[in-house]
Amino acid sequence: MRLSATIAIILLNWNGWRDTVDCVESCRKLDYPNFRILIVDNGSTDGSEAILRERFPDVELIQTGANLGFAGGNNAGIRHALVRGADYVWLLNNDTVVEPGALGALVRVAESDPRVGMVGSKIVYFDDPWLLWFAGAVIDPERPHRPFHRGLYERDTGQYDRVAETGYVTGCSLLARREMMAEVGMLDDDLFLYFEDADWSARAARAGWKLLYVPDSVVRHKESVSSGGAASPRLVYYTARNRLYFVRRNFPAKLAAALCYDLFEHVLVNVKKGRFPLAVAGCRGIRDFLAGKIGQMP
C-alpha cells in the first residue's frame, strides 16, 4: 500500500475568501504528510486573489480569469496538479473544514485496491457535526433523475460507519485517482454547475472503476441546515437542464421520465406555489436542454 502518494488538494474560490481561509487552516492540520494545497480563484471580484496571496504566501494560487463554474474551475486545478505529478487530486469545497484524519483515511482506502477510482468522505453539517449531509449516495437505475444523499438529515449514530460502494461521490469532498482520470477524463466543463460530479462518477463506474464512501474521513460542511438548500432561479435552471443531460448520457432509456419529472418539479409545482421566477428558470433550463445549449446560464 503506497501511503506516500502525492495529493493535490484543490480549493475552488469564487468571492469566498473567508471560507477559503478557514478551509486552508484546517487542511494544514491534516495528519497525512504528502500533500500540497492549490487554490484556484475562479475570477473573483471581491479581492479574494490579493487577500489569499497575502494570507498564504506559501500556498500556490492560480487565477482562471473568469467564472468557469464548478467544473471548469476545478478542471483548471486538476490539469495544473497532474502536470506537476500528483497521484491523486482531492476536490474539496472551500466552505468545508476537515478533520485531521480526513485525507489519510481516503488515501488508505484508495490505495487498498488499484481499481478504486474515486473515494468520498462522510460529510456532516458544520454547525451540527452529528447531523449527516452525505454518507454515500444512491442512484436508482429505474429513477436516475432522482439521485440522493444517503443519510441526509439523519443523526449520526454510526449507522453508516462502514466503507461502502456509492452511486456517486459528491464534489464537496472527492479524491480522484490519476489513472482513472487518464482513462475517463475530468469533469465536464459544459455542465458548468450541478450534476457534474454525478456525471463524472457515472462515467468512471461505467469504465469499471470503483466508487467508495469512507466514513473515517470526516468533513464539516457550512451548508445551512435551516435553509435546506433554498432554491434560487440559478439553482433551478442548472438542476433542470443538467439533470436531463446527465440522464441522456448515462441512462438514455429514462430520458422521457426525467423530462416529465423536471416539468413537474421545477415548473408545475413552482407555478402552483406562486414561485413564478423559479418556474420560469425551470422552463429555461428544459428549453435550453432541448435546444442543445450548454455551459454558463445566459
DSSP letters of 82-145?
Answer: HHTT-SEEEEEETTEEE-TTHHHHHHHHHHT-TTEEEEEEEEEESS-TTBEEES-EE--TTSTT
Residue 176 pLDDT level (bands cut at 50, 70, 90):
very high
Q: What is the pTM of this model?
A: 0.95
Residue with cell 444523499: 149
Cβ neighbours around 122 below 10 Å, total: 24
For residue 230, the model assigns a pLDDT of 61
* Distance in angstroms (rounded) separating the CA atoms of residues 230 and 205: 31
Contacts of 208 (CB under 8 A, 6+ apart): 115
For residue 25 the three cell numbers come to: 487552516
**Which one-letter DSSP state was computed for residue 168?**
-
Taking CA atoms, 265 is separated from 194, 250, 251, 272, 284, in Å, by 16, 21, 20, 11, 14
pLDDT tens track for 127-140: 999 999 999 999 99
Q: What is the largest CA-CA distance in the chain?
A: 57
Classify the C-alpha dihedral 207-210-213-219 as positive or negative: negative
| Phi, psi values for residue 273, rounded to 5° | -90, 5
Residue 226 has pLDDT above 60, yes or no: no
Terminal Cα distance for the chain, rounded: 47
In percent, the amount of the chain with pLDDT more than 70 equals 97
